[in-house]
C-alpha cells in the first residue's frame, strides 16, 4: 500500500510565509551551520553538551530565556570530558550540576540516560566521532535517516525526535528534523493531510511517514526541512532570539 502526497500552491505559500515571518538570528544560524556547514564542531565536549541539550529539552521548555537555554549558554560549560574523567561518581556529579542550575525536572531520569549513553560511547572508544564526520561528508536524505535510526536504537532516552535533534544541533542534517510539539502544532494548524498524534511519533515507522510528507512538502517549496524547522520553532518564542543568545 502506498500513500500519495498532494502538494498545493497554498501549502507552499504557508511554508514561505512562516520562514519570511521568522527570518531571525536562530534561522540565520541554522542556515550557516546546517546548510553552509560553518562552525561545525564534532568533538567530545560538543557531543556531551548536545546530548545534554537533547535530554533536557525532551522534558521541559527550551526557548532562549528559559532555564535550559541559559544553562546551555554557560561559558565555560560546566560539564566536559575532563570533568567527567576526574569525577568518581558521574551520576552524582551530573545531578549536582543540573540541580545547581535549577534543572530539577526529571533530574534522575535525565542523569541516568546521560550516564548510560556516555558509558556506551566510551566503551566504543568514541567511534561516534568519525561516524559523525562521515555523515557530514554524505549529505543525503538516506544517510541522515539511517544515522538517525542508528542513534534511536543505540542511545537511551532519545527516540526518533531527539536522535534527529542531536544531529541537527551538531549541524549535520538538512532533511531529517526533530518533529516536536511546535512542529506538530504548526502542521495540524496548516492542514497536514492527517491529524498528527505526538505519542505515535515515538514509533519509528510513523515518524518516517510524517517525515516523508514534510520532506516532500519542503522539496516542492525549495526549502530545506531544517530551515522550516528553525522558522516554526522560533515562531513560538515571540522575537526572543538574538545573536547573543543563539549558540546552536
pLDDT (tens digit per residue) in 34-67: 999 998 999 999 999 999 999 999 878 888 889 9
Chain segment 116-163, per-residue pLDDT in tens: 999 999 999 999 999 999 999 998 999 999 999 999 999 999 999 999
Residue 243: per-residue pLDDT: 85
What phi and psi, each to the nearest 5 degrees, are found at residue 243? -60, -35
Residue in the structure block whose three cell numbers are 542534517: 173
Residue-by-residue DSSP string for 77-145: -S--HHHHHH-S-HHHHHHHHHHHTT--TTHHHHHHHHHHHHHHHHHTTTTHHHHHHHHHT---HHHHH
Beta carbons of 218 and 15 less than 8 angstroms apart? yes
Residue 247: per-residue pLDDT: 86
pLDDT of 108 > 70? The answer is: yes
Beta carbons of 79 and 49 less than 8 angstroms apart? yes
What phi and psi, each to the nearest 5 degrees, are found at residue 153? -80, -20
Q: What is the mean pLDDT of the chain?
A: 95
pTM, to two decimals: 0.96
Residue in the structure block whose three cell numbers are 515518524: 207
Residue 5: per-residue pLDDT: 86
Q: What average pLDDT does range 64-86 have in this prediction?
A: 95
Chain segment 173-212, per-residue pLDDT in tens: 999 999 999 999 999 999 898 899 889 999 999 999 999 9
pLDDT band of residue 71 (cuts 50, 70, 90) is very high
Residue in the structure block whose three cell numbers are 542523569: 111
Using CB atoms within 10 Å of the CB of residue 147, give its burial: 0 to 12 exposed, 13 to 18 middle, 19+ buried: buried
pLDDT of 107 > 70? The answer is: yes
pLDDT of 1 > 70? The answer is: no
Residue 208: per-residue pLDDT: 97
Chain-centroid distance of CA 179 in Å reads 9
- The length of the chain in residues reads 248
Q: What average pLDDT does range 12-23 have in this prediction?
A: 96
pLDDT band of residue 100 (cuts 50, 70, 90) is very high
Q: What average pLDDT does range 18-28 have in this prediction?
A: 96
Amino acid at each position: 500500500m502506498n500513500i500519495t502526497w498532494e502538494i498545493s500552491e497554498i501549502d507552499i505559500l504557508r511554508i514561505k510565509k512562516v520562514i519570511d515571518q521568522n527570518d531571525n538570528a536562530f534561522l540565520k544560524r541554522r542556515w550557516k551551520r546546517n546548510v553552509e556547514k560553518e562552525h561545525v564542531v564534532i568533538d567530545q565536549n560538543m557531543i556531551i553538551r548536545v546530548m545534554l541539550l537533547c535530554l533536557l529539552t525532551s522534558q521541559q521548555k527550551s526557548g532562549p530565556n528559559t532555564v535550559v537555554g541559559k544553562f546551555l549558554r554557560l561559558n565555560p560549560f560546566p560539564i566536559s570530558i575532563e570533568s567527567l574523567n576526574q569525577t568518581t561518581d558521574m551520576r552524582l556529579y551530573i545531578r549536582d550540576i543540573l540541580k545547581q542550575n535549577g534543572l530539577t525536572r526529571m533530574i534522575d531520569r535525565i542523569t541516568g540516560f546521560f550516564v548510560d549513553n556516555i558509558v556506551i560511547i566510551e566503551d566504543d572508544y568514541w567511534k561516534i566521532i568519525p561516524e559523525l564526520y562521515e555523515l557530514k561528508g554524505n549529505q543525503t536524505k538516506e544517510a541522515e535517516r539511517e544515522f538517525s535510526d542508528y542513534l534511536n536504537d543505540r542511545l537511551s532516552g532519545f527516540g526518533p525526535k531527539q536522535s534527529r535533534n542531536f544531529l541537527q544541533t551538531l549541524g549535520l542534517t538538512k532533511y531529517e528534523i526533530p518533529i516536536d510539539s511546535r512542529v506538530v502544532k504548526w502542521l495540524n494548524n496548516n492542514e497536514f493531510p492527517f491529524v498528527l498524534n505526538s505519542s505515535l511519533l515515538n514509533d519509528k515507522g510513523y515518524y518516517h511517514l510524517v517525515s516523508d510528507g514534510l520532506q516532500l512538502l519542503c522539496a516542492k517549496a525549495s526549502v530545506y526541512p531544517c530551515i522550516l524547522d528553525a522558522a516554526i520553532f522560533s515562531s513560538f518564542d515571540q522575537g526572543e532570539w538574538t545573536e547573543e543568545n543563539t549558540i546552536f
